[in-house]
Structure 1
Amino acid sequence: MGDSTSPSQPPSRTDSPALSSRAGTPKINNSKPKKEIRILMLHGYTQSGALFRAKTRALEKLLAKALAPAGLVPTMVYPTGPNRLSPRDIPGYEARPGTASQEGGEDNEIDSWAWFRKDEANERYRFVEEGMRRLADFMSGEGGQEDGTEVGDGAAVGGGLIDGVVGFSQGGCMAGMLTAALEGCHEPTAKEHEGWVKAVRDANGGRPLKFAVIYSGFFATPRDLAWLYEPKIKTPTLHFLGSLDTVVDESRSQGLVDRCEDPVVLTHPGGHYVPVSKEWAMPLAGFIKKCVEGVDAQTRL
């Protein structure tokens, strides 16, 4: 993990008279040092790490290709949320006539997960701590593929400082909360959140993220989580919105945009999904490159 430099190859040896005039001229290695960029990829409600990776595999490949000239090697990691959903938790699900869905029964064993659950009656999010501790376990090296974590090509599951986060839908909300918590200037007003905030900060070595990318995300509305956005999120953020998104209302996504300092907002002509074509991968790559190089330049000062 971390920075590594590819060793220069020695000049090829040759006895050819045609090349004798260049025999004593050393070759110049113009390749840039390789720098790994570790990125958490947070899936949406009802998805899993494996499913989210399958849907964004093309984006992963395009991103790696676009960042290669800058010497940046993205390691995409796809953890799975800790809360298993039952069929009745899925929007539009209808139980078959004559069947009973028992809690923990066979009908509930589907590969659909969530980072947290919304408690409409009490206007709260349940299981936020479980979701955050799942991320903290991964960052500290205690999580892994046994927890449903998928990794990009050539990557290894295990602990390591995270450089950025990409989240979709509920994963976008989670990405915003994680980004804010890692900044260190947002302190929980409810004691119940103190444990997971310390856990994620310790897991990332007390270091904030360099960037956050949010697709069709939204802000956390419960009052006990308002501290996450006061003051506004300072980490650079890129927001992708779908002009035809009917799942997350535009006002909810705009609410998260408004809670970030200097957000970059792009709108694609589609619905509730992550656009993976080159047209939308290139601005993502440019944003990540700018953020990583900007933080590294500040560190050298």
Structure 2
Amino acid sequence: MSASKGCILMLHGFKQSDTIFYKKTSGLRKHLTKQLGYELIYPCGQMKIEGHLAGDYTGVEDQPDSVDMFSWLLRDNITGISKISDERSVKPLIKYIEDNIENKGKKLVGIIGFSQGACFTSVLIQYYSHLDIFQHLKFGIMFSGFHLDDASILKDTEDAIETVERTTPIKSLHVMGTLDTVVEDFKTYNLHDNFKDKYGEDNTELYKHIGGHYVPNNKGFLLKIATWIESADKEKDLSVKVADNKKFDQNNNELPDIDEDLLKSIDNLGF
């Protein structure tokens, strides 16, 4: 068996779990592992949801009451406002990545999130991707995602959380179902536009599928996703190769291409 291209973190939606999301993404998982050679890692949210508190809000998945359900976000059941907890959401996931990926000599190259997990993916990319565990991260895919503003990020201190900057941008793909009635389309558009404003149009894309609130498993759309991933994964390597072809003098000034100079000399001869 060939070596893995790297690990992709799979973040489930609200009222789901690692086990549920594993089953719901069977088509995508098989394509990315068997066809492309990635290893998919499924963590579970740390906040267990009691059945009578589950409610009905963004990211909800219909599950039987007997199934354990979890969340990435803290929700105020009175105001209905959801927030990311630095202590209960982010730190446990970072520990999970360290234990299951970094300490095993693996590389985290991508994050794929669905609904609430997509929202969490966007937070990790925007505010935590400067951490060492994300140094190899190249892309994030957000299915049925929605945007949380900076005020929705809880920190241990009163210091405002700031968007981090990286020398190598992380590509993002935002996927929405045209029949999705759980996450309204304007919420996914807002998330996409937020990323486009921060990271540029070249690093941000939007795909639509004819379906509802789920990760599509039809082969045609999976091929489209796979093609995008391959492009996002290779782009960093291509930029390095281009840079390697350039030559510099002792003062770090780029030297001209010899072939280009020869052509200019021939032109100057008047032939």
Give the TM-score, by structure 1 length: 0.65
Q: Does 1:223 align with 2:151?
A: yes
1:158 is displaced (CA, Å) by: 5.0
Instruction: Quote the residue 1:213 is aligned against.
Output: 141
Q: Does 1:45 align with 2:9?
A: no
Q: Does 1:91 align with 2:19?
A: no
What secondary structure is seen at the aligned counterpart in 1 of 2:9? strand
Instruction: Quote the residue 2:116 is aligned against.
Output: 170
Which deviates further from its counterpart, 74-83 or 125-134?
125-134
Which deviates further from its counterpart, 53-62 or 175-184?
175-184
Instruction: Give the gaps of 5 or more residues in structure 2.
Output: 58-64, 154-159, 245-271
Matches within 5 A, 1:132-281: 132-141=90-99, 160-184=106-130, 201-204=131-134, 207=135, 209-221=137-149, 223=151, 225=153, 234-260=169-195, 261-262=200-201, 263-281=204-222
Aligned 8 A contact 2:177 2:213 in 1: yes
What secondary structure is seen at the aligned counterpart in 2 of 1:291? helix
Corresponding residue to 1:127 among 58, 80, 85 = 85
**Partner Cα distance (1:117, 1:268) in 2:** 29
Aligned 8 A contact 1:140 1:159 in 2: no
1:225-263: CA deviation from partner (whole Å, max 9, x where unpaired): 495668899421111101111111111111110011322
Q: Does 1:291 align with 2:232?
A: yes
> How many pairs were matched up?
221
Aligned 8 A contact 1:123 1:222 in 2: no
Corresponding residue to 1:81 among 37, 42, 45 = 45
What secondary structure is seen at the aligned counterpart in 1 of 2:137? coil
Instruction: Quote the residue 2:256 is aligned against.
Output: none
What secondary structure is seen at the aligned counterpart in 1 of 2:206? strand
1:77 is displaced (CA, Å) by: 0.4
Aligned letter for 2:33?
Answer: A
Give the CA RMSD over aligned residues: 3.1
- Structure 1 297/222 Cα, relative in aligned 2: closer, same or farther at 3 Å? closer
Aligned 8 A contact 2:108 2:133 in 1: no
1:263-291: CA deviation from partner (whole Å, max 9, x where unpaired): 21111111100001111111111111111
What secondary structure is seen at the aligned counterpart in 2 of 1:167? strand
**Partner Cα distance (1:213, 1:116) in 2:** 19
- Structure 1 229/283 Cα, relative in aligned 2: closer, same or farther at 3 Å? farther
Aligned 8 A contact 2:118 2:143 in 1: yes
Instruction: Give the gaps of 5 or more residues in structure 1.
Output: 1-5, 7-32, 68-72, 94-107, 145-155, 185-200
Aligned 8 A contact 2:8 2:112 in 1: yes
Aligned letter for 1:135?
Answer: L
1:53 is displaced (CA, Å) by: 0.5
Aligned letter for 1:164?
Answer: G
Aligned letter for 2:189?
Answer: Q
Aligned 8 A contact 2:84 2:152 in 1: no
- Structure 1 158/138 Cα, relative in aligned 2: closer, same or farther at 3 Å? farther
- Structure 1 229/259 Cα, relative in aligned 2: closer, same or farther at 3 Å? farther
Which deviates further from its counterpart, 285-294 or 78-87?
285-294
1:64 is displaced (CA, Å) by: 3.0
1:81 is displaced (CA, Å) by: 0.4
1:169 is displaced (CA, Å) by: 0.2
**Partner Cα distance (1:90, 1:41) in 2:** 22
Instruction: Quote the residue 1:147 is aligned against.
Output: none
Aligned letter for 1:242?
Answer: G
